Structure 1
Amino acid sequence: MPSSLASIPQAQLPTKYRDVVKLALQPRQTRAFVLAAITWHLCLSAALFGTLRLVVSPSTLVVSAASFGTAILPLLARRKRGFGRITTPPPKTPSSRAAQLTAALAHAGTGKAVTQHTAAFVGLALGYTALLAGRTQGWAPQIWVESHQAFYLNERFLYLIGHSALLGAVYTVVFRCLPSPDSAALPKFDAEMLTTDARVTIKDRVVSLASSRLPLALVAATLASTASVLVYAMVRVRVWSSVLLVVGSRGLLRRLLVPSFRVEFGAFEVGVRTTLFSVAAVCAVETAYVLLDVYLTHPLVALSKHARHPTRMLVDGIQEPVVFFASHAFAELARLSAQDGEVRAAVYRDVNSDATAWIQIRDTCLKLLEEQRQFVARRGVVEAAKPPAPASAVQQAPQQQNAQQTRTIWDQLASGESTHSSSASPAQTSGATSTTTGGKPPAPAVVSIANASRLLHGLVSTAWRLVPSDAKHVLFGPRRRQLLLGDSPASDAASLIGRDAIRTVGAVVALQSLLCHSLAEDAYGCVQKDIRRVLVALVELHTEIRRLGLELEQRARDIDHQLAEQQAEPNSQAAASSEYQQQLSTTWSSSGAHSVHSALTTAMREILDTFAKFDLQLGTQLEVQLAECLG
């Protein structure tokens, strides 16, 4: 048991499951913060080409600790607080990558996340330049110009700060908002730990997750820094010349806002230093997120066993509306139901109260399975209820519009109407509109990331229409077009089936274990009365997942077949003939969809094998469905 809970007497332990989880996670949270700070210190020292003397230098320790506390630590604190506010699983993500990017840019929380990460990366850049200025000349905020005998703004420092702000925005969109901001906001629970007997430690999960995410972060940081320095080297003279026209070549503003071009910029050195900082900052921030997610989502000890009323606390946990705490409760329920006979016996014996333990566990688990089945059956589409409009109004509106459109000025003159109303000035028209709306002018459009993304989409679409057809095929061939704009079955598999895998697998394992062990441990036999009800819920969810899986496999085969026909090179057809099928298979196993499917199959088989000798009367339809699921 964690030391934070061991020191608390049982009578003083909180009765709410979420409060006990918070206490148990405090040592892990502190350990994750310390490891994240050490990671940033090592990355910062490596970016400075530091030796062991620089690593243990007091100035380096102070600067790295200060930059971590002002930049990375607030990001981790905000993410941890966000875990306790999410009460619904993420919705279905768009299938294509272009639609995912558009939805992420239009999300309400993207602007705030971009601002937070931009400020964080700027803070890391300030710490980097503070140490770099002490070791290498030419990186201070102000630099002395001998020919003018005055201090001017350092162009290198200004470029690094601007690049850091851009890097923070790019990192937010690529790593914190895709495939959707809602799914990225939740921590990643490993549902496979509930269905396998292999012991997985926190170290194993950190290594596995970091090995899959850090290479992408390194490549993204390198590409972003390289592109940034190349673009700036090409436009720097024109940009600063335009600024000089506005500010003036003499005066105080020129020294404060415009750098001196008498000092060499050194594009190669700046590019190397910027790339090193970008890789260090992105890897440090991403490692900090990995550490926090793994340490906070790794299975805890049996917290409910140390409470005064263990079963009541466990039931309170699985009924918790916050997804993060409920996920821990379902994981604990699954492990205890499968491994701990004392907990199962306590659940079986709790039959004297109004709401018995088994009934509450059964209803909560079945409700979760039904919600998941409906989500899969609807393919993630949520239908909003809209009041029906009157039929007469719907029919009259198009007729009135058509009449107004077909009525010409000659018809008005023939009928004796005046043309002053149609030739009214725009000012009069706007005045009349404001009068009819209560005297309030229309609100101006708000400048936001969503509006900017729509404008950018329009500009890109217009520019794409101007590109010749032959150039379109070369620049944006069928494979690139499918990758960006086409359907992605793997994305649907992850967002439809694997979105809430830990709670779904926990519910399935708990129901299976409590039913299968009831023959020897349930003295009252009350649990065995719900065998058919549990099997129906398992079969219905398994059937929907199987239908979706077959549909996704067919879509992946169609995409591969279509791309193979459109591919010009015969040698590449064989290599890419099953690309999207392999992508679907990889995502199916890594997103939690495989864990859900295998847990359902195992649960149905174990229940049937356990109660086969009692000749269960399940009905012809259910027996056929079970044969299809297990066949």
Structure 2
Amino acid sequence: MSAPAPATPMKALPSNLALRAAPAVPAAAQNYEPLVKNVLRQRLLSRTFTYSAAFCWMLVVLASTARQGGVSRLGLVGVLVNPFLPRTLGLAFTIWAVGVLPVLVLRKLYLTATPTSASSPSSVYHAALSKSSTLRSLAVYLASASLLTAVHVITALIFEARAGSDPRLNVFVKSKKHPYYLNGRLLYLISSQLSLAAFYVLRNVMMDRLAVRWTGSMSSRAQNDVPSFMLGRILTVIISASLLTAIGTVAHIFLFGLARAVALPVIFQLPFVSRLLRPFLAHFLRGSFSLTLLTKHTGLIFRAFMLGLMTVSTWDFAESLFDTFVAEPVNVSQVTADPAVTLVSGTTSQDLYYKHFAYAELAQFAKDETNAGSTKRVALFTDQKYNPSLWSTLTRETLLVLGRDYQLLLRRGAPEAAAPPPAAPAQKLDAPPQIPKTPYITASVLKGKSASPLHSALETIASDGSVTVALASAAEAGASQVPELFRSVMPSQTAAVAETAGAAVETVKKGEQEILQLAALPGKWREQLQQELVARAPGVVRGGAAQLAHWWRRERVHKVVEAALPNRKLDGLAADALCSLVCASLAEDRYGVVQRDIPRILEALLSFLAAVEEYQSEIVAQHPLPSPEEMGQLSPKEAAEKQELALDLARAGDALSEVADPLKDGIVRIVRTFGDKLSAFKFPPRIARKLQGFVDYN
């Protein structure tokens, strides 16, 4: 008999337990970078925009007060009220909007944390020409200079006319006979501004100003130090802008005279261009450019200088503020619920700019000696919410950063070799070949009766023989491709066609040779002109040109070193933060998570330090310096070159120390913290010998 069925059907017990994979550490683009961008946006609006607008307002107040006669004409009350008049405020805002705002937007768009790798001014210039940002920067500065010139001309025509003086900056000269002659004073002012803008862009290119300059910060300054800091910045900007404007003004005077005396007469020799420009510029051909013209237009030159000084000052002050505030450290982990997760997420950023901020804040996080800081580090070491854990993610990212720059140092700054092309895929085997089948022969296979040799030869050359038939068929096939009209003359023109084809080939070869010769003419003409100028130039000019060419092409040793370690400041911060966390783990790591990574951390740090020291020894060996006794026996020129080399070597040593000092300091702290406990770890022989030196020293 079968068992009775149960009254209640059986079912599985419900359970809330489920296998869920631990999430990875949040990406920096979602967790860390938005916080940093928010802080930078606030700095841009509340500091850079505000301080630069205040500087423009100060310049407008000084210029308008001087233009209206100062205290003698406005009185003390007028001087005090003038800064707050609507026209003064409106003019200051206009100058800020057309002079400062485009420059700051340009800097924000093309900000980069990777400096240009170049060892000489010539290589810096050629590297800048290959970037799209250079031409766009030039366009922005030229447009800003043109707008500032237009604002100056309009205000001069309004305010100076009210004061009873004529600035003579109209577009056309006052002439009934030639009403379309352009005003030379206005053209001089515009060309002065444009040339100064180009000169300023060249200066920024040589300074590599689009890259972040991780020099100093205001984070350690007290609030009462900000006014003195701003006053020092204003004085520095005014002095540098005055020097730059003076050089640019002198260079523009020379270029303007050269254009008026040489370039313009040559342009007017062109028929169509001459007819187009004569109604506007023909009056510039009268007379010659001489130094006496400068004495007659000192007021115009001074006006161009002051306008250029205002333009360069506004640009330089705004850019100096931007350089300071974009490099100031950012502290965003304090406003988040889990600071350790935020900082570790920041270290995984693909942008070196945000990665630098993350490691700078992580170094402060690791050195915080308060109870809150210790609690945050314990949470970092004991994390089990993420896979991989916070410490594993941080260690991996930091060692990758140090490893990439270590490999770059071993290559001495050279780019990584391209990967070999992938192997060609194996060809697929075709289908197996078909076995040929023997055709079925229906004719007789027996050998017939052979004819005599004489009979065979006659049959071959007969009218219906095989040779005659083959020749006729070939002729008909060739003639069928020729039109009927030309068939009668075809045989007679075959040789002519061959000769024409040969002549065409020779013509093409001659044309290629002529084109190559024409392409080589500019280089030959340039060389001949250079040789002629060098031969005819005075000795002083030749010596100055040689020194300038030497300065332009001379390879700087410290620039070569900086190209081999472009991210040296980031490497120093990463090593400092990692070593500080390792030292703190001795008392705060409850489960020994950090200790298992100490061997590979020390191996990475010691390998990097050994590479830096080896490179430093190589630099010193390649560029030996003479002793003081030998220096006294050198000629003045050789002594100056050796002094330049010594200065370059000192700067190269400073660049290497930006990586070597944090590495040494971190290794020393780990050795002092763990002491004899390091004997429990195993190291490769080379690393063990290097580490033993630190142990013996301590």
1:492 correspondence with 2:546:
no
Q: Map residues 269-418 of structure 1 onto 2, 5 A cutoff.
A: 269-301=299-331, 303-339=332-368, 340-385=373-418
Contact 1:188 1:293 in 2 (8 A): yes
**CA positional deviation for 1:557:** 4.0
Instruction: Determine the structure 2 residue equivalent to 1:424.
Output: 504
**How far did 1:223 drift?**
0.9
Choose the corresponding residue for 1:154, options 183, 186, 197: 183
Deviation at 1:242, TM superposition (A): 5.7
Check conservation: 1:338, 1:509, Cα contact below 8 A: no
Indicate yes or no: 2:584 matched with 1:517: yes
1:73 aligns with 2:101: yes
The answer to whether the 8 Å contact 2:196/2:248 transfers is: yes
Q: Find out whether 1:105 has 2:133 as its counterpart.
A: no
Aligned counterpart, 1:37: 53
Change (3 A) 1:210 1:613: farther
Structure-2 residue corresponding to 1:174: 203
CA RMSD of aligned residues (A): 4.4
For residues 12-91 of structure 1, the aligned pairs below 5 Å read 16-30=31-45, 31-43=47-59, 49=66, 51=70, 53=79, 58-83=86-111, 86=112, 89-90=114-115
For 1:126, the aligned partner's letter is: A
Q: Quick one: distance in 1 between partners of 2:63 and 2:634?
A: 43
Offset, 1:15: 5.4
Aligned equivalents of 1:199, 1:460: Cα separation in 2: 59
- Give the residue type in structure 2 aligned to 1:189: W
Q: Partners in 2 of 1:33 and 1:294 — Cα distance? A: 13
Q: 1:273: how far off?
A: 1.9
1:551 pairs with 2:618: yes
TM-superposition CA deviations, 1:320-378 (whole Å, max 9, x none) = 11222222212111111112323312211213532111111111111101111111211
Cα separation, partners in 2 of 1:361 and 1:430, compared to 1, 3 Å: farther
Which structure 2 residue ranges, 5 or more long, are not aligned? Answer: 1-28, 72-78, 288-292, 424-497, 513-518
Cα deviation code 1:381-436 (max 9, x no counterpart): 1144275899xxxxxxxxxxxxxxxxxxxxxxxxxxx887665358867999xxxx
User: 1:578 maps to what in 2?
Assistant: 643
TM-score, reference length from structure 2: 0.68
Q: Could you give the per-residue CA deviations for residues 29-86 of structure 1, whole angstroms, max 9, x where no partner exists? A: 1121121122234345656755584655543432332132123202211322334xx5
Residues 198 and 293 of structure 1: is their aligned pair in 2 closer, same or farther, counting only changes over 3 Å? closer
Amino acid at match of 2:558: A
Provide the rounded CA distance (Å) in 2 between the counterparts of 1:362 and 1:63.
55
Q: Which moved more, 1:594-603 or 1:258-267?
A: 258-267
Contact 1:47/1:273 (<8 A) preserved: no
The residue correspondences of 1:216-227 to structure 2 (distance < 5 A) are 216-227=240-251
Aligned mates of 2:669, 2:198 — CA distance in 1: 50
What is the Cα deviation at residue 294 of structure 1? 1.1
1:507 and 2:574 matched = yes
**Structure 1 587/64 Cα, relative in aligned 2: closer, same or farther at 3 Å?**
farther
- State the partner residue of 1:605: 668
Q: Alpha-carbon deviations, 1:582-617, whole Å to 9, x = none?
A: 24424654xx65332211111111111111132434
Cα 1:596–1:291, aligned 2, differ >3 Å: closer, same or farther?
same
SS at match of 1:321: coil
- Give CA-to-partner distance per residue, 1:195-225, whole Å, 9 cap, x none: xx99897778777877877655543321111
Q: Tell me the residue number matched to 1:439.
A: none
Query: 1:330·1:502 contact (CA, 8 Å) conserved in 2?
Result: no
Instruction: Determine the structure 2 residue equivalent to 1:624.
Output: 689
- Structure 1 stretch displaced more, 109-118 or 475-484: 475-484
SS at match of 1:102: helix
Q: CA 1:425 to 1:260, structure 2 compared with 1: closer, same or farther past 3 Å?
A: same
The change in CA–CA distance for 1:421 and 1:255 in structure 2 (over 3 A counts) is: closer
What is the one-letter code of the residue matched to 1:75? V
Distance 1:319 1:377 in 2: 24
- Aligned CA distance change for structure 1 residues 147 and 470 (closer, same or farther; 3 Å): closer
- Of 536, 541, 562, the match for 2:603: 536
Change (3 A) 1:244 1:206: same
The Cα of 1:573 is off from its aligned counterpart by 6.0
Secondary structure of 2:591's counterpart equals: coil
Tell me what 2:482 maps to.
Answer: none
Indicate the SS of the match to 2:504. coil
**Amino acid in structure 1 at the alignment position of 2:304:** T
Contact 2:217 2:324 in 1 (8 A): no
139 and 602 in structure 1: CA distance in 2 versus 1, 3 angstrom threshold? farther
For structure 1, the residue ranges without an aligned partner over 5 or more in a row are: 1-13, 391-417, 433-450
Q: Post-superposition shift, 1:298?
A: 0.7
Tell me which structure has the larger Cα radius of gyration.
2
Partner of 1:122: 146
Question: Structure 1 residues 419 and 165, CA, compared in 2 at 3 Å: closer, same or farther?
Answer: farther
**Shift in Å, 1:506:** 2.1
Write the distance in 2 (CA, Å) between the matches of 1:360 and 1:204. 43
Distance (Å, rounded) in 1 between the aligned partners of 2:339 and 2:31: 11
- 107-116 vs 357-366, greater mean Cα deviation: 107-116
Aligned positions, number: 555
Identity of aligned pairs, percent? 21
Aligned residue type for 2:186: F
Distance 1:628 1:172, change over 3 A: farther
What letter is aligned with 1:16? N
Contact 1:132 1:139 in 2 (8 A): no
